[in-house]
Amino acid sequence: MDSRGCIYSGLRNLPVELRRVMQGISDEYLPLDEGWSLRQTVQHMLDAIARIHLPRLEKIVETSNPFFADPETDDERAGRFDYGELLEEMVAELTGQCEQAADWLGTLSEEEWQRVGTHAILGTHPLHWWADRMLAHLEEHLSHIRGD
């Protein structure tokens, strides 16, 4: 499978695996290995895809070499850890975001996959690198939930 296929399937499989792993966790507020609770980790994953990664990818397609500031110093992370929603609602929204990302990425041309964006710390990379980073970030947090 090529890297695009890995990204598509990874985005589609991640929510399925998250739901499977969640079945073994009885307390969504209990801290996991990395210090965040299941609830905090899922909210962070949702924030990351919806408020950081997907908007960056869209900006790369729409703008010539957009610049992204470091999220620790800008407003990209505004609103993180808003615990107003039920956990299942957050997982459903995360599932929708992952499906939307996979569907949208599947429509992009090879030229669009090669468009670049520049981050203040991470440097300049093509869209496929940013898409892979998005998936890797989500998978890293899924790994924390599994206790890997």
The CA distance from 119 to 87, in Å, is 32
Q: Tens of pLDDT along the chain (148 residues)?
A: 678 989 999 999 999 999 999 999 999 999 987 788 999 999 999 999 998 999 999 999 999 999 998 765 444 444 455 556 799 999 999 999 999 999 999 999 999 999 999 999 999 999 999 999 999 999 999 999 998 8
Instruction: Say how many domains are in the chain.
Output: 1
> Which residue range is the domain that position 25 belongs to?
3-146
Cβ-contact 143, 135 below 8 angstroms? no
pLDDT digits (tens, 9 = 90+) for 53-84: 999 999 999 999 999 987 654 444 444 555 56
Q: Which residues fall within 8 angstroms of residue 137, CB to CB, at 6 or more apart?
A: 48, 53
Q: How many residues does the chain have?
A: 148
Q: Are strands 123-126 and 116-119 parallel, antiparallel or unpaired?
A: antiparallel
Instruction: For residue 72, give the CATH number of its domain.
Output: 1.20.120.450
